[in-house]
Homo-oligomer: A and B are copies of this chain.
Amino acid sequence: MKRFKLIVAYDGTNYNGFAKQPNATTIQGTLDVAIAKIVQHEVRTLGAGRTDRGVHAFAQCCVFDSDTKIPADRLAKAINSQLPADISVKSVEEVSEDFHPRFGAKRKTYRYQILNAKIRDPFLYKYALLYPYELDVERMQEAANEMIGEHDFACFCAAGSTVKDTVRIIYSIDVKKEGDLVSIDVCGNGFLYNMVRIIIGTLLDVNENKITKDSIKTIIESKNRELAGPTVPPQGLTMLNIVYN
């Protein structure tokens, strides 16, 4: 058996998230069916991370195992021929059998987009949160800087998550504004459930003076989800890239 690594981009708007589920259209389920048609046997892809309903990816990383004789460099086109237009396999390469897209990931970067405008945009409503209030990029960046480093991020983990170890490293958070569009790139060694969306909600609370930037450290130390900001909607979120060793 050979292991194939796929870089997959998708518009998550019409899917119930990445992870395969019975009776729901998911990215993983759609990929499995398309790949199976090409390699002529059942496959079960393994992804680097789940993305929720409505969340997008520029470069999700997946693997599947197969003894297909189709060379890796021809697989992307073949699989794409079986996929809907809102999912695209960007590249396929053969990797060693022990390569694991989740456990092998060293850094992941997510981007959250905010349209800072009073009037909605028909091209961005699926890809950005519409935020009509004044937005102080500098203040949000300063608050974000307080989150950098290795911390127990229980305060940024959705209630009900069963993960035990809530310590993660955030390497960087970059808040940028270009025209009306604000993008916040969050890079870390891994993320808790809804962590990026809660971080963005917390930064927007800082913008609205509901949270001061000086209290960020206290909120993290509290490990109390209720002290952090709200979970912003999914459509602004995109899995940007994943770095492996």
Residues of A within 8 A of B (CB): 9-11, 56, 76-77, 80, 85-91, 119-123, 125, 127
Q: Which of A86, A87, A123 has the most CB of B within 10 A?
A: A123
Q: Is the CB of A85 within 8 A of B125?
A: yes
Q: Is the CB of A80 within 8 A of B11?
A: no
Q: Is the CB of A122 within 8 A of B77?
A: no
5 closest cross-chain pairs (CB), A and B:
A11-B122, A86-B122, A85-B125, A88-B122, A88-B120
Nearest Cβ distance between residue A31 and chain B, in whole angstroms? 13
Complexed CA–CA distance, A123 and B111 (Å)? 15
Complexed CA–CA distance, A85 and B89 (Å)? 28
Contacts of A85 in B (CB 8 A): 120, 122, 125
Q: Is the CB of B87 within 8 A of A122?
A: yes
In the complex, the chain B residue whose C-beta lies closest to that of A8 is B122
Known contacts A76-B119, A123-B127, then 15 further A-B pairs from the complex at CB < 8 Å, ordered by chain A residue: A9-B121, A10-B122, A11-B122, A56-B123, A77-B119, A85-B122, A85-B125, A86-B122, A86-B125, A87-B122, A88-B119, A88-B120, A88-B122, A89-B119, A90-B119
Contacts of A119 in B (CB 8 A): 76-77, 80, 88-91
Nearest Cβ distance between residue A112 and chain B, in whole angstroms? 16
Q: Which one of B9, B120, B122, B123 lies within 8 Å of A122 (CB-CB)?
A: B9
Complexed CA–CA distance, A86 and B126 (Å)? 10
Nearest Cβ distance between residue A208 and chain B, in whole angstroms? 21
Contacts of A9 in B (CB 8 A): 121-123
Q: Which of A9, A10, A56, A87 has the most CB of B within 10 A?
A: A9
Sampled A-B contacts (17; CB under 8 Å)? A9-B121, A9-B122, A11-B122, A56-B123, A76-B119, A77-B119, A80-B119, A80-B120, A85-B122, A85-B125, A86-B122, A87-B122, A88-B121, A88-B122, A89-B119, A90-B119, A123-B127
Complexed CA–CA distance, A242 and B76 (Å)? 41
Contacts of A123 in B (CB 8 A): 9, 11, 56, 127
Nearest Cβ distance between residue A27 and chain B, in whole angstroms? 10
Complexed CA–CA distance, A80 and B91 (Å)? 41
Contacts of A121 in B (CB 8 A): 9, 88
Nearest Cβ distance between residue A56 and chain B, in whole angstroms? 8
